[in-house]
Amino acid sequence: MVTFYRRLPKMGYVKPGSLEEALELLEKNPNGRYRVYAGGTDVIPKLKGRVIQSPEILVDLKGVSDLDHIDFDEQKGLYIGALATVRSVETSPVIKERYPILSQAAGSIASIQVRNRGTITGNICNAVPSADSAPALLCLDARVLLYSKNGGERTVDITDFFKGPGLTVLQPNEILREINISASPENSRSVYIKLSPRSRMDLAVVGVGVLLTKTNGTFRNVRIGLGAVAPTPIRALKAEAMLEGSEVNDDLIINAARTASEESRPIDDHRASAEYRKMMVEVLVKRAIHQCL
């Protein structure tokens, strides 16, 4: 049967006032009775389209105070609270200055209206392969802090966070509290390039993030993050290794870009063929590296 729904399914709504309260709810959460959300820009359309199972109760995290922070400290680095919106990350002066790749990635998402509501945390918890913030966070060696009831707390490297399309290591009783990024290496440069047919309000056909430092003519701290070319956002580890510690030269860059393309495992879909995506990884990795030099 096909019904084109315009309305949300019937469900309840709670807005816990603290993280503990929210975690308490999730502790007794059989069959996804509760579903947390932040901006709702992923959850609401999916619920309307009956793409995901409707929870009995939507848990609005926005009642939790002190979760929308973007804090920077020279020692500890950057902390992005679970409720920090994509727009606030995009426009944050410190992120623009210290982590331009993240600001660019955030700015490439959807529209201002969506960025005003959506969060970076929601973007990675939603875990689509094309999530624009993911390649940036991969390049930045981000760590995510997951909380559960009674002080349960664990830190997961972003490289271990994604498990498959729409899947992460998050347990049903956990909430991602914040994202932490170390102070990026001195003189590092970074860039995120999103390829999509339209320049706005479009999903990445390929997303490429590169971060590196050029020290005495050699590549250091090289990170290459790729989006939309594998079941999860990935790092191009072999390509990184080729560059790391090597002298900067054009042939090497071309080879590394080709290697990154080989590391990608894209699929054919209505947005692009796997072949095109692989070719674009090569083109964009090369471009991104050049832009970082």
Ligand X SMILES: Cc1cc2nc3c(=O)[nH]c(=O)nc-3n(C[C@H](O)[C@H](O)[C@H](O)COP(=O)(O)OP(=O)(O)OC[C@H]3O[C@@H](n4cnc5c(N)ncnc54)[C@H](O)[C@@H]3O)c2cc1C
Binding site for ligand X (CB under 6 A): 35-43, 45, 61, 82, 86, 109-110, 114, 117-119, 121-123, 125-126, 131-132, 170, 175-176, 203
- The number of C-alpha atoms within 13 Å of 251 and in the hemisphere containing its C-beta is 1
Q: Is 73 in the site for other proteins (CB under 8 A)?
A: no
Q: Is 51 in the site for other proteins (CB under 8 A)?
A: no
Q: Decide which of ligand X, other proteins, none touches 60; Cβ closer than 5 to 8 Å per partner kind.
A: other proteins
Instruction: Find, among 231, 225, 238, the residue nearest to 289 by Cα.
Output: 225
CB of 270 to other proteins, least distance (A): 4
Q: Is 186 in the site for other proteins (CB under 8 A)?
A: no
CA distance 5 to 49: 6
Residue 269's SS3 state is coil
CB within 8 Å of 221: residues ≥ 6 apart: 185, 188, 211, 212, 213, 244
- DSSP notation for 32-53: G-EEEESS-TTHHHHHHTT-SP
CB of 251 to ligand X, least distance (A): 34
Which of 175, 257 has the CB closer to other proteins? Answer: 257
Pairing state of beta strands 70-73 and 77-81? antiparallel
The single residue among 30, 198, 216, 217 that binds other proteins, judged by CB under 8 A, is 198
Interacting residues toward other proteins by CB under 8 A:
1-13, 15, 40-41, 44-45, 48-49, 58, 60, 62, 87, 110-114, 116-117, 195, 197-203, 269-273, 275-276, 279-280, 283-284, 287
